[in-house]
Amino acid sequence: MKKILFFVTASYILMNGISYSQTGQTGLAFLKHGISGRALGMGEAYSAIATDPSATYYNPAALAISKNAQILLMHKEWIEDTKTEFIGASVPSGRFSFGFSLNATGTADIQVRTQPGDALSTFSSHDVAIGFSAAYQIDTSINIGITGKYLYEKIFVDDASGYAVDLGGLYRTPWNFDIAFVIANIGSMNKLLYESIKLPTTVRGGIAYQLGVENIDSKLTFASDVVTYTRESETHLHLGTELSYKNMLALRFGFQTGYEAKNISAGFGIHYRIMQLDYAYVPFRYDFGSTHSVSLSFEF
């Protein structure tokens, strides 16, 4: 119980220890929308526990946790018919681990009008991030990582490209606590038509604690991330929990603060041999509908 109280207190300190930033606007919003059924089900409180290729998104340093090669595939049905496809892979090599990611988000059938009435035609928008990651295990408790990303956006007939870098660190304490820190989306984009695009540079601080529940042969995970976007004025607290039974079935719940249209999430996972299936459900207010995410991962 004392350790759980410490976890809650540390989450509060993380939330209040990150200063609020100046208000601003950014493009490439898809870089702020999470990936992985497990992570989304846990409210994206994931920077300290990303043991699969989703670490290429949440914290490249966490790639060094797993000692097995992995592949992750995800499909997400988002609001307003927006869809996201993610492919990620990770390979360990001694103290190094390497990762690849492809994040593609798009919306089709956007109507073109020059005056009220029937649409003249339709078009689509596409956002793509292709990343290459590397992590290094300095010792048994400290990992560092980096991701370099090529970015591309196309809306109607106009497009723009650019680059971004993510930097991450992970400290694994002797007390089943993991502590993470990440700065993501540092970079720049070309102009889209006449407008410059500012990237949603993100700062994450995360902690996680795992507790064995021996009487039911289960493991309970608590996680917390504090997320701030450097050109926005709010800091968000992400909380997540997972109960894993015999490493076969997992139930998840998440909660987020500071978002106008969403706050809760839930999901489950099924693990069988080398395969894991994860599902996440995120409801939105104001008639935006709900988000459904399914991911499939393999560990070799």
pLDDT at 25: 67
User: What would the pLDDT profile of 65-124 be if each residue is shown by its tens digit?
Assistant: 999 999 999 999 987 788 999 999 999 999 999 999 999 999 887 777 777 777 777 777
User: What would the pLDDT profile of 8-33 be if each residue is shown by its tens digit?
Assistant: 434 433 434 333 333 446 788 899 99
Amino acid letter, residue 241: T
CATH for the 2-299 domain, from 2.40.160.60, 1.20.1260.10, 3.90.1200.10, 2.40.10.340: 2.40.160.60
- Say how far apart CA 7 and CA 131 lie, in whole Å: 32
Stretch (H or E) spanning 170: strand 158-172
pLDDT at 15: 39
CB 199 within 8 A of CB 188: yes
- Say how far apart CA 205 and CA 217 lie, in whole Å: 30
Question: Six-digit token pair at 240?
Answer: 């997540």
Q: Dihedrals φ, ψ of 288, to 5°?
A: -75, -15
CB 256 within 8 A of CB 236: yes
Pairing state of beta strands 177-189 and 202-213? antiparallel
CB atoms within 10 A of CB 245: 14
Domain ranges of the chain: 2-299
SS3 of 165-209: EEEEEEEECCCCEEEEEEEEEEEEECCECCECCCCCCEEEEEEEE
pLDDT at 117: 75
CB 235 within 8 A of CB 225: no
pLDDT at 46: 97
Distances (CA, A) of 237 to 33, 137, 225, 250: 15, 28, 6, 23
- Long-range CB pairs of 104-112 (<8 Å, 24+ gap) are 104/128, 105/30, 105/33, 105/78, 106/82, 107/80, 107/81, 107/82, 107/83, 108/81, 109/81, 112/156
Amino acid letter, residue 140: T
- Say how far apart CA 154 and CA 5 lie, in whole Å: 47
CA angle 211, 216, 219 (to 5 degrees): 25
Q: Compute the CA torsion angle 61, 136, 278, 243 (nearest 10 deg).
A: -70
Residues of the chain with pLDDT under 70: 1-25
Q: Which conformational region is residue 194 in: left (phi greater than 0), alpha (psi within -120 to 50 degrees), or beta?
A: alpha
3-state secondary structure at position 216: helix
Amino acid letter, residue 22: Q
